[in-house]
Chain A
Amino acid sequence: MTNLVNCSALELAEMVRARQISAEEILDETLTRIVEVDGRPGALDTAPAVDDEKKVHAFITHTEELARSQAQEVDAKIAKGEDAGLLAGVPFTVKDIFCVRGTPSTAASRILANFTAPYTATPVERLIAAGGVMLGKVNLDEFTYGSSSESSAFQPSPRNPWDLSKVPGGSSGGSAAAVAAGEGALSLGTDTAGSIRQPAAFCGVVGMKPTYGRVSRYGLIAFGSSLDCPGPIARNVRDAALMLQVIAGADRADATAATQAVPDYLREIERGVKGMRIGLSPDYFRITFPDPQSGEYVEQALPAHMQEAVWKAAELYRSMGAEIIENVPMPNTRFGIPVYFVISRVEAASNLHRFDGVKYGYRTKQAVADLNEMYRRSRGEGFGPQPKLRILMGMYVSAAQYSEQYYQRALKVRTLIRHDFENAFDPQGPYRLDALLTPTTPTTAFGMADVYGDSVMMQYADQLTVPANHAGVPGISIPAGFSSDGLPIGIQLLGPDFSEAQLLRVARAYEMATEKEEWREKKPSLLEGK
């Protein structure tokens, strides 16, 4: 019998529509997998247990009953000969930063731990309407603030299925870990600085950050409103295309959702890259960061294995008929993180002032003298250190006396970052790229607790992904082999505004060209024999 948890979303939906398998059978097998590999879900105030190190812990909330009724609805439609949707019976998870009516929607924060959403986010609504079966809400960094998922108030935080001593990345760490471990074929994540692409790279799966506005943000608990992008995480490129097909498009509930028509992302996905211009930039083969000891800026070349994965992909693309354009200047890449430290903090501070213990969410249990004390205690007890840090920093850099020095300046440097991409993709320009090929991350997955606590070094994990968020352009991370210590390596493709179809095509070409390679057979160690 086919091992359903290892099937792609496309295969599952096709089998359901062809009545070869029911949505409930897929659900049952997926729930069994979750029991086998996931361990206890994240929860508040839990003491660590030895067994925690042996499981993935992707989930915060299981929604088994909801999933059962959705699966039954799909099966009923099939029985009646009705169209059950593009995702008929496909199990998926949702990063717990999206509101889903009737489910706890926590943002992995104590301050929202008791919040049950009274409405459903548009992308989730579309996944369900397309026949998807929602397995539950998965863990993340608190309010998405991090790159390892360790800052969640709901512990244990997720672990990397390829090596449980490593982080899954973040902030969509629960999403990427779940997909890699076969706990659902798809997951809905968000990407504000790389939060889809970085965990996808760390966990050996595909993650796409669409163009800003391509997917509605309605129902997404906001972090950086000019940067946040919901997007798909999947085990292969075609599934990511299928998921994007379902969630993309205009939404009257989100004035920033683009109204441009959504193309058929699967139609030309296997047309190859012949004649395309794919660029490489030296600015994506090094990182610049403040030395933790001296504070001085140091420039460091990326590890050889990270660079080699990109060069190998470039050679493959060349062999398939693409033109490889080297030395594309992206000189403002190095400023992506400093700019992000300013802009994202200002937007975070603005978005997080609403959590005050009055209308919903956490309110202090301590006796208080007045409303002000209630605010201070509720926010002091409800927020973890990362949200507090972002709120304080955002207030500081946008304060009237410092705004010109920090915030206004960062917004101008953001323009320079955008110019880098416009120059690279300009059809009349010197480079005329269809896509820029880069490593997704400076390193493979790092160890649990190795970086957590150092908010500066943690942020620099996003140095190669954050420029796309500043510029608004789409990007995709795809698996490109393994390091010598067995950890997945991701490569990234970046493209012009609304070029998702083209990026998916370039990504799929790599996938097809490498499908017979030995590394494609590897499975996370905890799935050996499953």
Chain B
Amino acid sequence: MKNTENSIPRDVFDHLVDLAAFALGEDEKNYLHDQMNHQLNAIQELEAIPLPDDLPTTTHGVEYGDDGKPALRNDEWVACTNTQEILTQAPELQDGYIVVPDIPTKELE
């Protein structure tokens, strides 16, 4: 499927906002939607580039040679020594557990 309209429909934008878990005001939504469309216009320039079928993707800037490839760490258990320090960062804590509001559930049909 291709977006040939060069803009993001508002319903698609609203769906993205929902997926991204953002509560937004109307002004902010309008700004973000507008900026996304501007960015999409810039991105469309990529469409015009002829790409050979066998051109590989690059997901990583530098290919490591054998001398530069980091070894995988051994799968060893290491004790965390500052769990209390980490837990104190939690917005709400009770008996060492992080407290969150009700988790919505849905009955499966």
Contact = CB atoms under 8 A, between A and B. Distances in A.
B21 A375 contact: yes
A118 to B, nearest CB: 5
Nearest to B73: A252
Nearest to A360: B89
B108 interface: no
B42 A396 contact: no
B91 A357 contact: yes
B56 to A, nearest CB: 6
Contact residues on A (Cβ < 8 Å of other chain), bracket: 35 or more
Contacts, number: 205
Given A341-B43, A372-B104, A255 B72 contact: yes
Interface string A426-462: 0000000000000000000000000000111001000
A412 B45 contact: no
Nearest to A226: B60
B22 A370 contact: no
A363 B82 contact: no
A524 interface: no
Contact of A335 (B49, B60, B98): B49
Contacts of B55: 412, 415-416
A512 interface: no
Given A391-B20, A418-B58, A402 B68 contact: no
A422 to B, nearest CB: 10
Contacts of B100: 358, 371, 374
Contact residues on B (Cβ < 8 Å of other chain), bracket: 35 or more
A392 interface: yes
B36 A405 contact: no
Interface stretch (A45-53, A62-70, A307-315, A470-478): A470-478
A289 B70 CA distance: 39
A369 interface: yes
Interface in A365-411: 368-377, 379-381, 383, 385, 388-389, 391-393, 395-397, 401-402, 405-406, 408-411
A283 to B, nearest CB: 15
A27 to B, nearest CB: 27
B93 to A, nearest CB: 10
Interface in A486-530: 497-498
A498 B21 CA distance: 41
Contact of B36 (A334, A361, A393, A472): A393
Given A370-B103, A455-B35, A383 B98 contact: no
Contact of A392 (B2, B36, B92): B36
A257 B70 contact: yes
A157 interface: no
A250 interface: yes
A392 B16 contact: yes
Nearest to A250: B70
A379 B21 CA distance: 7
A122 to B, nearest CB: 13
Contact of A370 (B28, B71, B102): B102
B77 interface: no
A81 interface: no
Contacts of B85: 118
Contacts of B13: 392
Find the residue from B3, B43, B46, B60 having the highest chain A CB count within 10 A. Answer: B43
A263 interface: no
B79 interface: no
A259 interface: yes
Contact of A369 (B44, B46, B98, B102): B102
A396 B61 contact: no
A402 B3 contact: yes
A338 B17 CA distance: 23
B38 interface: yes
B104 A470 contact: no
B11 to A, nearest CB: 13
A456 B38 contact: yes
Given A259-B67, A418-B61, A472-B61, A455 B22 contact: no
Contacts of B8: 396
A395 B42 contact: no
A376 B22 contact: yes
B96 to A, nearest CB: 13
B75 to A, nearest CB: 13
B43 A342 contact: yes
A376 B17 CA distance: 9
Interface in B59-95: 59-62, 64, 67-73, 82, 85-86, 89-92
19 contacts: A213-B68, A226-B60, A256-B70, A258-B70, A260-B68, A290-B38, A338-B46, A358-B98, A359-B98, A379-B23, A392-B32, A406-B46, A409-B46, A412-B55, A413-B49, A414-B58, A415-B56, A455-B39, A472-B61
Q: What 10 A-B pairs are tightest by C-beta distance, nearest first?
A: A472-B61, A380-B23, A411-B57, A472-B62, A360-B89, A363-B91, A212-B61, A376-B23, A401-B1, A260-B68
Interface of B: 1-3, 8, 12-13, 16-17, 19-24, 28, 31-32, 35-36, 38-47, 49, 51, 55-62, 64, 67-73, 82, 85-86, 89-92, 98, 100-104
Given A335-B46, A455-B35, 17 more contacts: A211-B62, A258-B68, A259-B69, A290-B42, A349-B20, A358-B98, A359-B98, A363-B91, A371-B100, A371-B102, A379-B21, A392-B32, A402-B1, A405-B2, A408-B57, A455-B38, A456-B39
